[in-house]
Structure 1
Amino acid sequence: MTFPNRILLMDQPPMAIGIDPKVAFAFKKLLGSRDHPEITIHFLNSVLGGDPLIKSVEILNPFNEKDFEDDKLSILDVKATDDQGRLLDIEMQTSLPGELANRLIFYAASQYVTQLREGARYANLMPSIGISVLDGILFQEVPDLHLDFRLRSQSPALTLSDALQVHLLELPKYTPPGDNIVVQDPLEQWVYFFRRAAYLTGDELTSRLVDPVFTEAARVLEMISRSPDDRALYEARLKLQRDEQSRLEAAEARGKEIGTEIGKEIGEARGRIQGKIQLLQGLLNEPESPADLLSTMSDEALTQLQASLQERLRSRG
């Protein structure tokens, strides 16, 4: 007796994990769970360089499914402290609002100053470190995907303090290597994981990222995929993030449209002033200023020149 249906199922290729670790639900379950501290520790050492090496972390706002049960697109960051006493704030940003830089500074500074209780000494303040994984590019002018901001002097090159740090990982700057290439660098491994995990099977992912921590990370994503409740919360959050991205893109497109309209109106207004200047110069029997010369003049200079020509024409009666 044959079982064609069973044979067909056995011959099917394994499915990709299908869970994007950039979606807030998966991101916080990966890095903000007390059940998987090794994942958080490896990530932090990869970003911060392991100097000093972090051996343990305490998650201060651990993963809680209730945080995802409403329809609010709130920022679900991971707050932690390491065995050095440093305060850490980790977040994923799938969109880049205009105020992002100011918000990152505010969070890091707030985390720093709230340590100072009445009677406490400044010497007891521990560093505050913000880490933001960006699914976008904030600094187009540099190719570096890891940016490390601290309190430093531009010239001479002096460091005032490492007490405030903001680290950015700009994921789109990374080009994943070809198939079957093993990624060795710890930071590159994480960037590869965020970029490619959703499109690979667990075996494919762990064959490229051989550090055991990624076996555990892949297992977390697979558990989300297989749990109906987790999958529903993940899909709801994914929809919210997509809707928010669409809203931002629509606002940006409208802003560009308004800017174009304003620019056109400004250009037409300048054109009218330039035409009046050349007309007045003709009435005064003066050589007309070339259009390319007038186009380089400021609005204020054009207005002053027009007023001067009008006054001279009036004085001639």
Structure 2
Amino acid sequence: MFTFINPKTDFAFKKIFGSQNSKDILKSFLNALLYDNQPTIEYLQILDPHSLPLIRGLKDTYVDIRAKLNDGTEVIIEMQVLNVEAFEKRILYNAAKAYSTQLETAEQYVMLNPVIALTITDFEMFEDFRKVISRFVLKEREFLSDYPIFDFELVFVELPKFQKSLNELETLTDKWIYFLKTARDLNSVPATMEEVPEISQAFTIATKANLSYDELSELQKQEIYIQDRRGAITKAVSIATEKGRQQGKQEGRQEGIKEGQFALIIRLLERRVGAIAPEVQNQIQELSIAKLENLAEALLNFTQISDLTAWLETQDLPAR
């Protein structure tokens, strides 16, 4: 029986996929998620994720893993557990920076290599469709034709949308996503996954018994931080929901008062000046509660419909 670390934490994700001993694991992982299980990546180089050129005036770039593929394509990879503000913009910024900072002074644009930003999220980003993996590229707005240079791609893997059980895993893609989503809850390596050497190696790295005291301590700190942040988000949502409920009740009471006033005033007006045309009733309905109270007092002096319309003209109603 084994205990595995959570691959979704920053520390574990980098240890499993981003160390210099993880090249085969990362190659299998990227072939599965980016290239439909085809052996497109023959070899890759794992780079320092923070080694992008520092340019005056640009923010630092934070990604979990950065790799260069055999065809020169650069892949920046991020595992994101919490849905933080402006996260979508950060993805674009990091991808654009990885693309734009490739060139040294005086180098030609033709030397730019494609950039793929692979983002794995532990929350749903795109509620309009149920695909687990989605890919975004530059398209012409009306005809949806590709931009001539296919150098920029954003790929998202939304873990909550993956609902397959262990017995339903069919492809290498399925197995890697299942590993990310469930490894920490397993106590042994499933046979169907152990048969993939790279996934078996990933489980070995993820075994808690293989971690030092300092590594376990760092992992625990990150998991506590994630739990605290999730708790803070849940509490904030709960408070906002309760405020909205109370505000809704208050607005409902005010609306009920206004509807009652309106109905009473229309009955009183019809007794004094006759039938009230629908367009005039609409004007009366636009009055605030305070102005309806003023109208209730003023109507005692009305003797004909023109008295009412003249009074309404003094109330600064919206132009119709």
Please state which band the TM-score falls in when normalised by the shorter chain: 0.7 to 0.9
| Partners of 2:49 and 2:62 within 8 A in 1 | no
Q: Distance in 2 between matches of 1:75 and 1:238?
A: 19
Alignment match of 2:70 (pick from 79, 83, 92): 83
1:225 offset after TM fit, Å? 4.9
Q: What value does the CA root-mean-square deviation take over the aligned residues?
A: 3.5
Q: AA paired with 1:284?
A: L
- Consecutive unaligned residues in structure 2, runs of 5 or more: 51-60, 312-320
Q: Secondary structure at the match of 2:45?
A: strand
Q: Distance between the aligned counterparts of 1:243 and 1:288, measured in 2?
A: 61
Q: Which residue of 2 aligns with 1:164?
A: 152
Q: Does the alignment pair 1:176 with 2:164?
A: yes
Could you tell me how far apart the structure 2 residues matched to 1:22 and 1:217 are?
13
Conservation of the 8 A alpha-carbon contact between 2:74 and 2:116:
yes
User: Aligned in 2, Cα 1:198/1:279: closer, same or farther, shift over 3 Å?
Assistant: same
CA distance in 1, matches of 2:86, 2:22: 32
Amino acid corresponding to residue 176 of structure 1 in structure 2: K
Identity over aligned pairs, percent: 25
Whole-Å Cα distance in 2 between the matches of residues 207 and 175 of structure 1?
Answer: 17
Distance 2:241 2:260 in 1: 28
TM (norm. structure 2) is 0.76
How many Å separate the matches in 1 of 2:14 and 2:191? Answer: 21
The 8 Å contact of residues 134 and 170 in structure 1, kept in 2 or not, is answered as yes
How far 1:223 sits from its partner (Å)?
5.5
Unaligned 5+ residue runs, structure 1?
1-14, 64-73
Q: Aligned pair 1:240/2:222, yes or no?
A: no
Aligned twin of 1:198: 184
The C-alpha deviation readout for 1:91-130, integer Å capped at 9, x for no partner, is 1111112422222222212222223443333332222221
Tell me, what secondary structure is at the counterpart of 2:71?
A: coil
Show CA shifts across 1:225-277 (max 9, x none). Answer: 55323222211211111111111222222222233333334434433433333
Tell me how many residue pairs correspond in the alignment: 283
How far apart in 1 are the matches of 2:7 and 2:277? 62
Structure 1 residues 301 and 77: alpha-carbon distance in aligned structure 2, compared to 1, 3 A threshold: farther
1:32 equivalent in alignment to 2:18: yes
Deviations 1:151-201 (A, max 9, x none): 1235423111432221111111112324xx373312111111012222224
TM-score (norm 1): 0.76
Q: How many Å separate the matches in 2 of 1:93 and 1:56?
A: 26
